[in-house]
């Protein structure tokens, strides 16, 4: 619930329940304002729900202190814009070292090795990027650095909010495939937040469709996208570009937009 000045309160999320298991990906889809990012904010403790709770391994999110820090190490975010989420003044090394040092996750003499290991995990050549700054890297490389940073604290859960929408189309699949590999190898649970139904379908095991803060449909990815039951899901699907369907229908080739 958000307090909105003048108009009282706005329900950003309403009675939302779901379970994310390790090694699984849930795609969270819906249009702007549907509450997708509010869910992410609750998970990373930027918002507190007015009712309901979030359990990690059966335990509620700790409120403060060491327990909260440990929760935050277990749950990491990958943000949409790798241009904004990396600090232009600092080297790639610094970005990845920081969670290691802050969390006391590597002894001083092991930090360098660990940074390199993480860069290799995201298929970057450590020597080529480690002492560079974000602006010297391409968008795809930057997003890989952001993923390496997220992995540094050995999380069990990754919240990826539109991780590829700012990237060039030809490298999006590469980054999604990287996330899929890491998830498999590390048994991560991934919450993939997007409004792109096509990548949600291919990248997720399960899809949750959110409309005005409510879950309107939930199920295996293919079922939800290929055979949507809810009118809102159908509307979203109809609005998504789908050349296959477009050229299959006779109306499709009457020249341009109909």
Partner 1 sequence: MSEPLLSIHDFSVTYDVDPPVHAVKGVTLELARGEILGLAGESGCGKTTLAYGVQRLLKAPAVITNGSVMFHDASGEDVDINALGAEEMRRFRWDKISMVFQGAMNSLNPVAQIGSQLEDVFEVHRPEMTPRQRRSEVADLLELVRVGAQRARSFPHELSGGMRQRVMIAMALALRPQLMVMDEPTTALDVLVQREIIRQISQLRHEFGFSVIFITHDLPLLLEITDRIAIMREGEIVEVGRAEQIWTDPQDAYTRTLLSSFPRLTGERGVVVR
Residues within the interface to partner 1 (CB under 8 A): 25, 31-32, 139, 168-170, 172-173, 176-177, 180-181, 184, 195-199, 201-203, 205, 222, 225-226, 235-247, 252-253, 255-258
| Number of other residues whose CB lies within 10 A of the CB of residue 250 | 7
Q: State the minimum distance, in angstroms, from the CB of residue 33 to partner 1.
A: 8
Q: State the minimum distance, in angstroms, from the CB of residue 60 to partner 1.
A: 31
Quote the CA–CA distance of 25 and 23 in Å, as a whole number: 7
Q: State the minimum distance, in angstroms, from the CB of residue 165 to partner 1.
A: 9
Q: State the minimum distance, in angstroms, from the CB of residue 257 to partner 1.
A: 3
Q: State the minimum distance, in angstroms, from the CB of residue 75 to partner 1.
A: 21
In this complex, which beta carbon is closest to partner 1, that of residue 100 or of residue 164? 164
User: Are the CB atoms for 205 and 24 separated by under 8 Å?
Assistant: yes
In this complex, which beta carbon is closest to partner 1, that of residue 114 or of residue 186? 186
Q: State the minimum distance, in angstroms, from the CB of residue 141 to partner 1.
A: 13
In this structure, are strands 25-29 and 189-194 parallel, antiparallel, or unpaired? parallel
In this complex, which beta carbon is closest to partner 1, that of residue 86 or of residue 225? 225
In this complex, which beta carbon is closest to partner 1, that of residue 149 or of residue 201? 201
Token look-up 């995990």 returns: 121
In this complex, which beta carbon is closest to partner 1, that of residue 115 or of residue 179? 179
In this complex, which beta carbon is closest to partner 1, that of residue 24 or of residue 98? 24
User: Are the CB atoms for 213 and 37 separated by under 8 Å?
Assistant: no
Q: State the minimum distance, in angstroms, from the CB of residue 202 to partner 1.
A: 4
In this complex, which beta carbon is closest to partner 1, that of residue 31 or of residue 156? 31
């Amino acid at each position: 619930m958000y307090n909105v000045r003048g108009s009282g309160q706005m329900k950003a999320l309403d009675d939302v329940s779901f379970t994310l298991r390790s090694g699984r990906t849930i795609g969270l889809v819906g249009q702007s304002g549907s509450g997708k990012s509010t869910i992410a904010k609750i998970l990373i403790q930027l918002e507190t729900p007015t009712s309901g709770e979030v359990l990690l391994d059966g335990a509620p999110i700790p409120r403060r202190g060491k327990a909260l820090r440990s929760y935050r190490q277990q749950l990491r975010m990958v943000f949409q814009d790798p241009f904004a989420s990396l600090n232009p003044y600092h080297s790639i090394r610094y970005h990845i070292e920081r969670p290691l040092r802050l969390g006391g996750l590597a002894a001083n003499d092991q930090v360098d090795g660990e940074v390199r290991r993480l860069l290799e995990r995201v298929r970057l050549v450590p020597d080529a990027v480690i002492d560079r700054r974000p602006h010297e890297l391409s968008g795809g490389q930057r997003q890989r650095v952001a993923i390496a940073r997220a992995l540094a604290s050995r999380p069990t859960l990754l919240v990826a909010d539109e991780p590829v929408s700012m990237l060039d189309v030809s490298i999006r699949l590469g980054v999604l495939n990287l996330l899929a590999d890491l998830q498999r190898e590390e048994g991560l649970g991934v919450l993939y937040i997007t409004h792109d139904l096509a990548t949600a379908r291919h990248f997720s095991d399960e899809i949750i469709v959110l409309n005005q803060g409510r879950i309107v449909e939930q199920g295996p990815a293919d079922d939800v996208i290929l055979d949507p039951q809810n009118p809102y899901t159908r509307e979203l699907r109809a609005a998504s570009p789908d050349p296959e369907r477009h050229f299959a229908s006779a109306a499709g080739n009457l020249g341009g937009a109909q």
